[in-house]
């Protein structure tokens, strides 16, 4: 009798277990400092027995970044798509050999605009209760799918602009164009020449079709970076060809299925923005946007261009973050100060930007 009661309780516990995370109290987290570089930073098998691909479960979030989606589907990130900044940084370094500074810079940029600063969690896709409740005075903590804060944004290679409705699922039309450009400019592969032509094409499409098109920092930087990173992250690290090029089946696996090829090895050395300058130089365009309708692209001189890293940093802190959090108090202010500190530590060593303290110091 006692035994069966125990079993009954156990059954109840098991059946409500998935709901417990919603009911638990959410502690205010003190964000830990970002991890340093990898100890071993060469190539190695990353689609290994400890990181098998698995399909998503109901409630898992996936978003606009195929690299993060893939890391979640292979268990380098929590498979539900909700992570701490430290988990994100470790995952992009471990799985794709992204260099430590870039990993830190983009992770804290995303955290500051799309993360929950009290629970120290961010969704790699849409907003989910798994990042915790909206805290007092918070912006949306909406996850990476949130349009408008500029880390992700318009003129994406394989997604439509937010103007046309938020749509983060795989788009067959854009994929067909990706293949078409790879055939025309890369002999059937995605290489740097294809990257430059397709980047140009995506920008021209948005200029011609999206009256609200905007391409200013930080999106101006990430638009070029995402074009380049497809090669840096998805090229097998054992590749010894002089030509760096991605086969279409490999690209499709990452973009559509969030899946590494069998036997995939990460990059042979830490990777960053290699290729961005070549992609930009093929079809240079200033930061800007459509003004008052389609086909009306005007430069925006207040936006940082690719040569103005510190302007990017200053605008992001003083405009983007300050607009989201004009007068934070308590734990929100403390965590903003810490996240801004970590963000600043991810600037390239050569940048030498002056550190800003919009919320004072601890
Ligand atoms: C895919 O993208 C194209 C180009 O932006 C757009 O016209 C089309 O509606 C999109 N398809 C879906 C299913 O969202
Ligand atoms: C387009 O921009 C205008 C002006 O900034 C804004 O009011 C409107 O909501 C935007 N529309 C979409 C669909 O984003
Ligand atoms: C994307 O757009 C297509 C076509 O409009 C729609 O069928 C689909 O449900 C949308 N997907 C998401 C995730 O919004
Ligand atoms: C990309 O591939 C095409 C076709 O093989 C080739 O002509 C071009 O030089 C390649 N680009 C780079 C940067 O290797």
Tell me the mean pLDDT per 10 residues along the chain, length 362: 41 45 72 98 98 96 91 98 97 97 95 93 89 71 68 72 68 93 98 97 95 91 92 95 93 95 97 94 97 96 93 93 92 96 94 96 94
The phi and psi torsions of 196 (rounded to 5 degrees) equal: -65, -45
Which pLDDT belongs to residue 7?
42
Which pLDDT belongs to residue 136?
60
Q: Which residue has the tokens 């098991």?
A: 14
Ligand 3 binding pocket includes 281 (Cβ within 6 Å): no
Which pLDDT belongs to residue 126?
82
Q: Take atom 7 of ligand 2 and give the residue whose Cα is closest.
A: 212
**212, 290, 292, best to mutate for ligand 2 pocket (most atoms within 8 Å of CB):** 212
Which ligand has an atom closest to residue 289 CA?
A: 2
Rounded distance between C-alpha atoms, residue 202 and residue 206, angstroms: 6
Strand runs labelled E in 140-224: 189-190, 214-215
Ligand 2 binding pocket includes 163 (Cβ within 6 Å): yes
CA distances from 197 to 180, 226, 281, 329 (A): 11, 14, 11, 47
Ligand 1 binding pocket includes 173 (Cβ within 6 Å): yes
Q: Which residue has the tokens 């050999």?
A: 97
Rounded distance between C-alpha atoms, residue 252 and residue 244, angstroms: 17
Ligand 1 binding pocket includes 169 (Cβ within 6 Å): no
Q: Please enumerate in sequence order all residues whose Cβ is within 8 A of that of 206, keeping only pairs 6 or more positions apart, or say none.
A: 154, 155, 161, 213, 215
CA neighbor of 106 nearest in space, from 120, 119, 92: 92
Which ligand has an atom closest to residue 246 CA?
A: 4
Ligand 3 binding pocket includes 173 (Cβ within 6 Å): no
Ligand 3 binding pocket includes 164 (Cβ within 6 Å): no
Which pLDDT belongs to residue 27?
84
Which pLDDT belongs to residue 271?
94
**125, 167, 174, best to mutate for ligand 3 pocket (most atoms within 8 Å of CB):** 167
Which pLDDT belongs to residue 165?
64
Answer for the pair 315, 304: CB distance below 8 angstroms, yes or no.
yes
Q: Which residue ranges form the domains of the chain, and what is each CATH number?
A: 2-345 (1.10.489.10)
Ligand 1 binding pocket includes 171 (Cβ within 6 Å): yes
The H-or-E segment that residue 246 falls in is strand 246-247
Ligand 2 binding pocket includes 212 (Cβ within 6 Å): yes
Which ligand has an atom closest to residue 209 CA?
A: 1
Q: Which residue has the tokens 């992609």?
A: 279
Q: Find out whether the peptide bond into 341 is cis, omega within 30 degrees of 0.
A: no
168 Cα nearest atom in ligand 3: 13
CA distances from 123 to 13, 22, 87, 140 (A): 27, 15, 12, 12
pTM assigned to the model: 0.88
Helix, strand, coil percentages, rounded to 5, for the chain: 45, 5, 50
Q: Take atom 3 of ligand 3 and give the residue whose Cα is closest.
A: 167
Rounded distance between C-alpha atoms, residue 285 and residue 265, angstroms: 35
Ligand 3 binding pocket includes 167 (Cβ within 6 Å): yes
Q: Please enumerate in sequence order all residues whose Cβ is within 8 A of that of 304, keeping only pairs 6 or more positions apart, or say none.
A: 217, 220, 221, 287, 311, 312, 315
Pocket around ligand 4 at a 6 A CB cut-off = 186-187, 191-193, 243
Q: Please enumerate in sequence order all residues whose Cβ is within 8 A of that of 190, keeping only pairs 6 or more positions apart, or say none.
A: 178, 182, 230, 231, 245, 246, 248, 251
């Amino acid at each position: 009798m006692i035994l069966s009661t125990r079993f009954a309780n156990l059954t109840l516990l098991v059946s409500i277990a998935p709901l417990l995370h919603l009911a638990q109290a959410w502690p205010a987290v003190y964000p830990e400092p970002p991890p340093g570089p990898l100890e071993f930073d060469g190539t190695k098998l990353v689609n290994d027995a400890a990181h098998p691909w698995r399909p998503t479960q109901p409630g898992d979030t996936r978003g606009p970044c195929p690299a993060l989606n893939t890391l979640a589907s292979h268990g380098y990130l929590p498979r539900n798509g909700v992570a701490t900044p430290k988990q994100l940084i470790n995952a992009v370094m471990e799985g794709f050999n992204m260099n430590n500074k870039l990993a830190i810079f983009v992770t804290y940029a995303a955290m500051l605009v799309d993360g929950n600063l009290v629970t120290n969690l961010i969704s790699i896709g849409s907003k989910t209760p798994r990042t915790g409740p909206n805290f007092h005075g918070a912006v949306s903590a909406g996850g990476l799918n949130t349009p408008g804060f500029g880390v992700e944004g318009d003129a994406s290679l394989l997604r439509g602009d937010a103007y046309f409705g938020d749509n983060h699922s795989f788009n067959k039309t854009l994929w067909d164009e990706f293949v078409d450009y790879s055939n025309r400019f890369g002999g059937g592969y995605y290489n740097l020449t294809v990257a430059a032509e397709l980047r140009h094409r995506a920008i021209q499409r948005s200029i011609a079709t999206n009256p609200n098109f905007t391409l200013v920092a930080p999106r101006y930087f990430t638009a070029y970076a995402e074009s380049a990173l497809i090669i840096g992250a998805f090229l097998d690290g054992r590749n010894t060809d002089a030509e760096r090029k991605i086969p279409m089946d490999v690209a499709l696996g990452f973009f559509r299925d969030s899946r590494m090829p069998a036997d995939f090895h990460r990059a042979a050395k830490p990777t960053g923005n290699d290729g961005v300058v070549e992609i930009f130089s093929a079809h240079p365009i200033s930061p800007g946007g459509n003004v008052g309708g389609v086909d009306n692209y005007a430069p925006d001189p207040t936006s940082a261009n690719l040569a103005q890293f510190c302007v990017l940093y200053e605008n992001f802190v003083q405009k983007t973050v300050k607009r989201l959090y004009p007068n934070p108090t308590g734990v929100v202010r403390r965590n903003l100060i810490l996240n801004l500190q970590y963000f600043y530590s991810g600037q390239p060593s050569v940048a030498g930007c002056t550190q800003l303290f919009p919320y004072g110091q601890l």
